[in-house]
Amino acid sequence: MKQLRGSSPYTDLMKNLKSDCTSCCGLCCFALYFSKLDGFPQDKAPGVPCRNLQSDFRCAVHSELAERGLKGCIHFDCLGAGQRITRSLYSGRSWSESRETAAEMCRLFPEMRLLHQMLWYLIEASTLVPAASLLPRTGALICEVDACCMMPPQTILARLQEGAADELRARVNGVLKETIALTAAFVSPGSAGSGASGSSRDRDLIGKRFRGKKLDGRDFSAALLIASDLSGCSLRGVSFLGADLRDADLRGADLRDSLFLTPEQLASAKGDRSTRLSPHLLRPDHW
């Protein structure tokens, strides 16, 4: 079988995309909107601290999240955006210092999360052998996004207002789409582009049973795979970009060469020791 992943000069940047809650002022528990229905402890608006967030920014119920059914908290992963803001952009200061800082951090956090997500996808794209011809563009975008992450807060927010962030996202999406098509053609010539990326009907795969199937080269980007059965499936070159995998059964699935999976997607799905993962993904603790 031809190797799908190779080396990339950018993989070192992945270390910035691992969440370190000890270096963060609990931004996810303060800056985001969340709802009880999504497995959070309460319905709350952005800029309101969760009632379980303590003054030292630790969670008072951290050891009981599973017992309390707080799936939203267990699955959440900011890909390092929280500590980037707290440690690098605000030198360890927190949102609790002033109303201005709190308002700024609230606007910055979702944006930084998106930037980190883009970096995650682009770095993975840069390792894919079939997409080697895109490396000059992918690499340039990695440098551009990484530079954005290090800009002063005011500059990031100004760019947001000017629409520069949307334009950057569109360019990143373009490269990722090309990467997906090239990879699908590589692993499954003739079936490239088949799958879930077309109509909304194609994307609605809630509860679908695929058990044990060879799905190599399928495109599940943005698909609703909630509670689907992907157990024992071969998923080589399958894109899961932005797919909803909540409660999807991934036991025994071969995801070693699947594309664009994030820690949050994995944590929200069901897997176990028999689920095979690429080395850049950690097995969720609860699997």
Give the residues lining the site for ligand SF4 (CB under 6 A): 19-21, 24, 26-29, 40-41, 50, 52-53, 59, 61, 70, 73, 76, 78, 82-83
The whole-angstrom separation of Cα 91 and Cα 237 is 40
Least separation, in Å, of the C-beta of 132 and ligand SF4? Answer: 33
Provide, rounded to whole angstroms, the least separation between the CB of residue 41 and ligand SF4.
5
What distance in Å separates the CA atoms of residue 37 and residue 52, rounded to the nearest whole number?
A: 17
Residue 27 C-beta: closest distance to ligand SF4, Å? 4
User: What is the rounded CA–CA span in Å between residue 248 and residue 266?
Assistant: 9
Smallest separation, CB 30 to ligand SF4 (Å): 8
What is the rounded CA–CA span in Å between residue 230 and residue 256? 14
Evaluate whether 11 touches 123 at the Cβ level (below 8 Å).
yes
**Helix axes of 164-187 and 135-149: crossing angle, nearest 10 degrees:** 140
Q: Nearer Cβ to ligand SF4, position 204 or 264?
A: 264
- Dist. CA 83–CA 62, nearest whole Å: 18
Residue 50 or 89: the one with the smaller Cβ distance to ligand SF4 is 50
- H or E, element range at 67: none
CA-CA distance, 167 to 162, in Å (whole number)?
10
What one-character DSSP code corresponds to residue 87? I
Considering just the CA atoms, what is the radius of gyration of the chain in Å?
19
Closer to ligand SF4 at the Cβ: 87 or 213?
A: 87
Whole-number minimum distance, CB 89 to ligand SF4, in Å? Answer: 13
**H-helix or E-strand spanning residue 107:** helix 99-126
Cβ neighbour number for residue 276 with a 10 Å cutoff: 16
Residue 246 CB, shortest distance to ligand SF4, in Å, is 17
Closer residue to ligand SF4 in complex, CB, 16/234? 16
**Which CB atom, from 93 or from 177, has the smaller least distance to ligand SF4?**
93
User: What's the min distance (Å) between Cβ of 162 and ligand SF4?
Assistant: 26
Nearer to ligand SF4, 61 or 227 (CB): 61
The single-letter DSSP state of residue 228 is: -
Residue pair 89/58 in contact (Cβ under 8 Å)? The answer is no
Measured from the CB atom, is 29 or 205 closer to ligand SF4?
A: 29
